[in-house]
Amino acid sequence: MSDDSSPRPSLIERLTSWLLREPEDREQLLEVLHAAYDHNLLDADALTMIEGVLQVSERQVREIMIPRAQMDVVDINDPPEKILPFVIEAAHSRFPAVDAERDDVVGILLAKDLLRICAGEAVNLRDWLRPAIFVPESKRLNVLLREFRASRNHIAIVVDEYGGVSGMVTIEDVLEQIVGDIEDEYDYDEAEANILRDRSGGWRVKAQTEIADFNETLGAHLSEEEFDTVGGLVTNRFGRLPKRGESVEIDGFRFHVLRADSRRLHTLLVEQLPQASLL
């Protein structure tokens, strides 16, 4: 005779029992995790990060690297007075240093080391270079992250099968695959307006801004036929998800990507071209 008074297993106990049966593949594991989320055992951020960790173990460096053509590099043969304005404008903390050719990376220059120039010191930039780390395009991201942590490096140069430079990757690029976009100096409060005047004279525009609002605020005439948001229009014009630092011109405006990750476009710096006139 069964004992109906025995307590029923709790949700956690049922999920634990399911997990103990060892899912046979990653799809089954994800089903368990989503079931836990559906029953409020995991919040959305935790689920997203777990999924990111699983993806990192499968993805390769070539999938997230910054292509060589888009790398901000300094030529070690240039005088400091030429390098310094470029470093200030690019606003990165580390730069691959090349010897005339982009394939000839001779080290990594830290922007903070250039403070000595401002102090009037005589400098030899070659003496300040940190060793460059080279990794193949096929390296898995979880392996690269482990190497970054062990070596305390923050940037690596990506090479193809022939040894040529094909791009670069940073520890931030890898971490963003797990936690999403990491805020930087271009971030601003989500509560603020979608369109803000920038100190450069342009406008900082969130990608989620509706084209109708953009047109009204800037006196523009962007088409609303195919896309509702500025980000959708810009991404379509590129034909792919653009990377930080890229620019495109649309109907009298230059759209410069300030923030973007591997998943979506976040923030744009918009400048009116000289031939365009605002109302």
Whichever domain contains 165, its CATH number is: 3.10.580.10
Handedness of CA 209, 212, 216, 222 (dihedral sign): positive
Same domain, 156 and 203: no
Q: Which of 252, 206, 207 is nearest to 231 (CA)?
A: 207
Given pLDDT bands bounded at 50, 70 and 90, which one contains residue 261? low
Q: What is the pLDDT of residues 144-196, one digit of tens each?
A: 999 999 988 899 999 998 889 999 999 988 888 777 655 554 455 444 678 98
Q: What is the pLDDT of residues 5-22, one digit of tens each?
A: 556 656 566 556 555 556
Same domain, 32 and 113: no
Name the DSSP class of 129: P
The rounded distance, in Å, linking the Cα atoms of 27 and 253 is 45
pLDDT at 56: 81
Confirm whether 123 is domain-assigned: yes
The rounded distance, in Å, linking the Cα atoms of 94 and 132 is 11
Same domain, 103 and 127: yes
Residue 267: other Cβ atoms inside 10 A: 24
**pLDDT at position 267 over 60:** yes
Expressed as residue numbers, the domain containing 33 is 26-58
Confirm whether 17 is domain-assigned: no
Confirm whether 139 is domain-assigned: yes
Confirm whether 124 is domain-assigned: yes
Same domain, 203 and 255: yes
Q: How many helices (H) and strands (E) does the chain have?
A: 9, 12
Of 10, 39, 58, the domain-final residue: 58
Where would I find the H helices in the chain? 11-20, 26-38, 44-56, 80-90, 115-118, 141-151, 171-179, 211-218, 230-238
Tell me the average pLDDT of the chain: 81
The rounded distance, in Å, linking the Cα atoms of 82 and 94 is 17
Whichever domain contains 234, its CATH number is: 3.30.465.10
Same domain, 52 and 70: no
Confirm whether 187 is domain-assigned: no
Same domain, 38 and 125: no
More confident residue, 10 or 274: 274
Q: Parallel, antiparallel, or unpaired for β 165-170 and 66-67? A: antiparallel
Tally the domains of the chain. Answer: 3
Confirm whether 9 is domain-assigned: no
Confirm whether 279 is domain-assigned: no
Q: Is the pTM of this model over 0.85?
A: no
Confirm whether 4 is domain-assigned: no
Q: Which amino acid is it at 240?
A: R
Same domain, 134 and 164: yes
Same domain, 95 and 137: yes
Same domain, 111 and 175: yes
Same domain, 199 and 168: no
Same domain, 168 and 68: yes
Same domain, 152 and 244: no
